[in-house]
Structure 1
Amino acid sequence: MTGGRQLSRWAGRALGHDFARLELLKQALTHPSADENNNRRLEYLGDAVLELVASDYLYKRHQKALEGGLTQLRQRLVQRATLASVAGEVNLAKYLRYKGADLAPDGPAHEAMLADALEAVFAAVWLDGGIEPAAAVFEKLFAQRLKSVADLPRDAKSLLQEYLQGRGFNPPEYRLAGSRDDPQAPSFRSVCKVPELSLSAEGEGRTIQASEVEAAASVLAAVGESP
């Protein structure tokens, strides 16, 4: 890793944040293979910080989107491949400290290392300046990427609600119809009802949300709409 002055300049240019405590950034860029004072704990915190600022950003800019669509887009933004790609765009690897051939640019663990380090950087920014700088860094790194992401994904629940709202109907009603308490393969059954159309359908999934999506998809199929 390069010297502190060059690292500070990189942070200001690439992240848009001037660190008051540069040691936080140095730790964020230190892989466990290189030192005991590494980024593992920062990675843990950064995962939560990144999810928070991403959720806030999407919530404010997609005010008509439902929970399912927002969750899907956030997952696409913070998944490992996306984080590693963003890290590559700002040349983060140049400032990383690590040891081991598998972590080298052509190694099998390089992508995971980049993604983890970027999460740790978000923790470092948050600890250094708080939530506002972390949100600003997110917007700088991800806002342009949002323009290249496909239209906000809409699951069957979102599509059904839009279908009903567009025709002046009330939102659908959901209730849990049953569950299987199996730690290895949990299962939930939910019912989706649209009283004004005298329609109802069941759906099953590994989560309540997934079972509701399946039920909504069945109702959409009944009215001739494809989820």
Structure 2
Amino acid sequence: MKISADLKAFQARLGHEFKNAELLTRATTHSSLSSATRPDNQRLEFLGDRVLGLTMSEALFQADKSAAEGQLAPRFNALVRKETCADVARQINLGDVLKLGRSEMLSGGRRKEALLADAMEAIIAAVYLDAGFETARDMVLRLWGERIEGVEDDARDPKSALQEWAQARKQNPPRYETVERTGPDHAPVFTIKVVLESGESEQAKAASKRNAEQSAAKALLNKLEAENG
């Protein structure tokens, strides 16, 4: 099966040349374009999620042999969550080669976090089926790269940590306000401000309210830590 020039270039970015090109085509086909003769990537997504999970479980288990389950679990969650998968997908420009239906294309599907994350999991499964677990694992470890080494910081949920900070000082929970929403409907940008009862505040922008809230909370935590040593 011949593949397009775009998919050939994507293989180079991915670092894997498929023996079975049909797997790559399927992994990049969204359900909005699927048909009886063109299967989508949902089944591959299911498998890829498990391959990713095993890869990260093994990597974390081997990296810190003294870590308890309670330490490993948040690190694992940080590495396999949708936001991280979507970030890796953007790193290799996966959105550029996705096959989408017209309505999904018009609504900015190539930039949607959930869609990119699902497609990234499908790609992992496709590599696994094409070349086996070791090849898929090596690819995941290479693409996730420094995220694995720095996972301790990412595993810390900023919103939860900020709430704990406020509770320890007998303050009410932090308040999150939507300052601004810009951009078209298919690609919005939210500016969120977080405010503590004691008056400290910070704000951040992101493509979703959740991410903007997390970024604002992290910025405020960093500010508080700097001020309090």
**TM-score tier after normalising by the smaller chain length:** 0.5 to 0.7
Please say if 1:14 is aligned against 2:22: no
> What is aligned with 2:27?
28
> What is aligned with 2:112?
110
1:175-217 CA-partner distances (Å, limit 9, x unpaired): xxxxxxxxxxxxxxxxxxxxxxxxxxxxxxxxxxxxxxxxxxx
Distance 1:105 1:72 in 2: 33
Greater CA radius of gyration, 1 or 2? 1
One-letter code aligned to 2:79: L
Distance 1:152 1:34 in 2: 35
The question of whether the paired residues in 2 share the 8 Å contact of 1:69 and 1:152 is answered with no
Deviation at 1:34, TM superposition (A): 0.7
1:138-170 CA-partner distances (Å, limit 9, x unpaired): 11111222234334859xxxxxxxxxxxxxxxx
The question of whether the paired residues in 2 share the 8 Å contact of 1:122 and 1:134 is answered with yes
The question of whether the paired residues in 1 share the 8 Å contact of 2:45 and 2:121 is answered with yes
Runs of 4+, deviation exceeding 4 Å? 100-109, 151-154
Distance 2:94 2:142 in 1: 15
Q: How does 1:125-204 map to 2 (within 5 A)?
A: 125-151=127-153
Distance 2:60 2:79 in 1: 10
Q: Which moved more, 1:83-92 or 1:104-113?
A: 104-113
The question of whether the paired residues in 2 share the 8 Å contact of 1:76 and 1:82 is answered with yes
> What is aligned with 2:98?
96
1:76-126 CA-partner distances (Å, limit 9, x unpaired): 111111111110111000010012545657469821110100011111011
1:35-87 CA-partner distances (Å, limit 9, x unpaired): 23110111111111110111111111121211221121111111111111110
Unaligned runs of 5+ in 1: 155-227
Taking structure 1 as reference, are residues 100 and 80 closer, same or farther at Cα in structure 2, changes over 3 Å only? farther
Q: How does 1:186-225 map to 2 (within 5 A)?
A: none
**What is the CA RMSD across the aligned residues, in angstroms?**
2.5
Taking structure 1 as reference, are residues 53 and 98 closer, same or farther at Cα in structure 2, changes over 3 Å only? same
Unaligned runs of 5+ in 2: 157-229
What is the DSSP-based 3-state SS (H/G/I as helix, E as strand, rest coil) of the residue aligned with 1:65?
Answer: coil
Q: 2:76 aligns with which of 65, 74, 77?
A: 74
Percent identical pairs in the alignment equals: 39
Taking structure 1 as reference, are residues 118 and 17 closer, same or farther at Cα in structure 2, changes over 3 Å only? same
Q: How many residues end up aligned between the 2 structures? A: 152
